Structure formats: C-alpha cells, structure tokens
Amino acid sequence: MGLRLIGRLAVCAGLMMVLSACATTVDISARFPARYAETANIRNIAVADFDGYGGREFQSALQAELFSATFDGRPYFNVVATGGPSNPGAAAGYGRSVGAQG
C-alpha cells in the first residue's frame, strides 16, 4: 500500500511539473525614471572610440543599442558623432564640438 501511494504522488508531482512548464508567459513593459535627474534630458550623444581588446566590438554594440533605443515608438537618442578620440579629456571637448550633451 505504501509503495502505491508513493507512486501516485510521484505521478502527480511529475504531472504538475509538466503542466507548469506549459504556463503562458507575458512580457511587461515598464518605464523607470533615470537614477540621476540630470541625465534624464540628455539626448544628443557622441560615441568615442574604445581602446584595448574588444574595444571596436564594444563600440559597435553600444552604438547599436543607442540607435535602437525608443520611447513611445520614437528614437530616444540622437547619436551626433561616432569614432571620436578615446582619451577622456579630448573626448569631452570633441563631444561638445559636435553638439553632444552631458
């Protein structure tokens, strides 16, 4: 009798696992405010070069993310320039000269 009960429990547990795997998933979109209020209005962005191993690939991936970012179906960022200097001091001046904010 005990083995029969254990067998039934195992079948029920397996059935519950199979049925839970078939559950419907729902995508939920959410909007969150910027962590720093000053950054909320930055829209014009310049992407500098990245030095080092994988720098070029990272730059391409970053540009792709910025180009694809949308808000209410419209582009969120305006990438005003790419390939600027990687030196932080020179990059800031370059960004200002091409109209980047921040």
Count the Cβ atoms, other than its own, within 10 Å of residue 61. Answer: 11
Confidence category of residue 5, pLDDT binned at 50, 70, 90:
low
Residue 34 has pLDDT above 70, yes or no: yes
Burial of 17 (0-12, 13-18, 19+ CB in 10 A): exposed
pTM of the model: 0.60
In this prediction, what percent of the chain has a pLDDT beyond 70? 87
Residue with more model confidence, 80 or 31: 80
Q: Give the separation between CA 41 and CA 27, rounded to whole angstroms.
A: 27
Confidence category of residue 89, pLDDT binned at 50, 70, 90:
confident
